Structure 1
Amino acid sequence: MPAFAIYLTAALCEIFGCFAVWIWLRQDRSVWWLVPGALSLMLFALVLTRSPADAAGRAYAVYGGVYIAASLGWLWLVEGQRPDGWDLLGAALCLFGAAIILWAPRSA
């Protein structure tokens, strides 16, 4: 699986898992939302271990940039609020930084 797909899948799993808790607590929905939420968070952790990064901290740093962009996609597609230009600029900067972290040449 390509690196971006790994990070995007992990982000969607984490976002859904956290959103399930959000729905339960903030929108007064059934406690049963926690079951798929917990499963989604476990899947998030498993997917992130497939990162091509050479160290966990680097994988988490790259993931952070993708998570920010995916969160704005969630905002738009699930919550119905369109990201503004500042949101998009911030996400682009984060993705650029994530790409540098993941693919920069490193000395051994």
Structure 2
Amino acid sequence: MNLLSTTALFVATALAEIVGCYLPWLWLKDRAPVWVLLPAAMSLAVFVWLLTLHPTAAGRVYAAYGGVYVCVAVLWLWLVDGERPHLWDITGVSVALAGMAIIMFAPRT
């Protein structure tokens, strides 16, 4: 897979996981009705399915995915929670994405 399609797949995977976890969080905080647990479960099932679409070893996918998850979670913090990321958030995202790129795109023989 190339850089663009790999990154897009990771972003979709992260969104599926975040939505699958955010909806139960809303319910537990009494901000959403119990029926939101159904789309949450479906979102987590999509998350697991998306992880299987990556064409490399599962351990490598999980390790690299973590970097993209950090980035998407900080974007979620900004766009959904309404809290602007600080410099340290952006620095952490940069380090996490650098790690993801090294893991996924380093040449292998």
Structure 1 match to 2:80: 78
Question: Sequence identity, in percent?
Answer: 48
Instruction: Tell me the TM-score normalised to structure 1 length.
Output: 0.93
Instruction: Tell me the TM-score normalised to structure 2 length.
Output: 0.92
CA apart distance, 1:30: 1.1
**Ranges of 4+ aligned residues in structure 1 off by more than 6 Å:** none
Matched AA of 1:46? W
Where structure 1 has 5 or more consecutive residues not aligned to the other structure, the ranges are none
Equivalent residues in 2 for 1:13-92, closer than 5 Å: 13-52=16-55, 54-92=56-94
Relative to structure 2, which stretch is displaced further, 9-18 or 41-50?
41-50
Matched AA of 1:93? V
CA RMSD of aligned residues (A): 1.2
Q: Number of aligned pairs?
A: 106
Structure 1 match to 2:105: 103
